Amino acid sequence: MGGLLIYTCVDLFNKYVQHTTISNIKMELVNELPFPAITFCNLSPYKRSAMKPDPVMDHYLLTLSRMADYTAPINYDDPAYSNLSLPLPDGWIYNVSSTIPDMFGACVDMKDAMKDCREVLTPKMTDVGLCYAFNSKEYIKQNGALLTTITGSSKSLAFYVKVDQDDYVSSDNMGAGMKIVVHDPDEEPDTDKGFFASPGFTSYASLHLTKYKYIPYPYQSSGGGYCLDTKDGSFTNPLEYHELYSRKACLKECKYRFLVSMCGCQAPTDNAHYTRNMTLQKACHCPMPCEFNKYIASVTTAYFPSKPNDFFFTQMGFTDMRTNFMEIRLFFDTLSYMKVEYQAEYDLEKIVATLGGQMGIFLGASLLTLSELVEFLLMAALVCCKRITNKKR
């Protein structure tokens, strides 16, 4: 019994020093849900009418697109391409990108109230150019957090968007439409994620919220690394240009520092070399926060507009609805969210409780064995006495 007790103690100690965790997953029902930020990015990063590209610029943009393998490489020794090395003026990207009036025809809230898109959307610089975010952290600072008690697609947040394909330039995306990223307002949009919306369709995006909570060092989080406890009172934001820490914001600043160190300059959309080099990204040391929210969008589509509505729009002078216009609706299916919380598999309290139970079993078994041994000896002595007595008789 003593050997088994020692083995149990050693096994518990090994599990404790490994800092293993277990996950607790449950569905929480609530009366209201925090609405996410929604970032809209036109698949054409620039407007042709604003850039007025000459053949040199058209060639340059083509070499950045998916058609680069079918295009002659740029000869930077050619004087015709010398202007490509000149620094861009401040605000250049704002001058050549689509504006809110260019892209948004109407914004409708979940109570079917028409909103001024210029008041509810915020410019957001991303890796793919200038985008526009609904319910951004800047908007929340001025207007408060947006909470919803409404579910279902009939009372959804709706955006009526225009993409002018005649004003497109060559880019990494060969399609036309919008890239839409649903994310926590405190986080930077990750344009590698999200979903696409195409002109000529209504996109219905059903939103689902999952809240994650990991344990800080020495417990490992997903991927084998350690999370950053941003909720700790002693936490200091290591980022220079972002008020709130997020992994995407950290990688963004690291990318900028890398580009500046390489060429002494950087552009918001210079990310090709960096995003394809995982070694550079790992060297940034950008752990994920221990607590964060993740929004998932399940998307379905329908033709837009229907024939009766298309006839109505045609009467109003819109003849290219299927080519350039789309409807985007976002809503929650239910007032609930999934909570994923990680806990220590073995802490001091659990170890003491486990040892106490094991010792109770072992000691109980030892006392039981001792009592049975005494009983056996007494019974054996009694049998011997009876035999001796019988022989004497």
191 close to 179: Cβ distance less than 8 angstroms = yes
Sheet holding 37-42, edge to edge: 121-126, 129-134, 37-42, 178-183, 195-197
pTM for this model (two decimals): 0.81
DSSP symbols for 228-291: B-TTSTT-----SS-SS--HHHHHHHHHHHHHHHHHS---TT--HHHHT-HHHHHHT--PPBSE
pLDDT at 230: 92
Strands 178-183 and 37-42: antiparallel
Which two structure tokens, joined as six digits, stand for 13?
A: 């100690």
pLDDT at 225: 83
pLDDT at 335: 94
pLDDT at 359: 63
pLDDT at 360: 62
CA distance 311 to 324: 16
What domains sit in the chain, N to C, each tagged with a CATH number?
2-19+351-392 (no CATH), 21-232+290-344 (2.60.470.10)
pLDDT at 391: 63
Q: Is the dihedral of CA 338, 344, 348, 351 positive or negative?
A: positive
pLDDT at 340: 94
CA distance 148 to 6: 56
| Average pLDDT along the chain, 393 residues, taken 10 residues at a time | 65 71 90 95 92 87 85 84 78 91 93 92 91 95 91 91 92 90 94 93 96 90 83 90 90 84 63 56 83 95 89 81 92 94 77 64 57 69 73 60
CA distance 213 to 234: 18
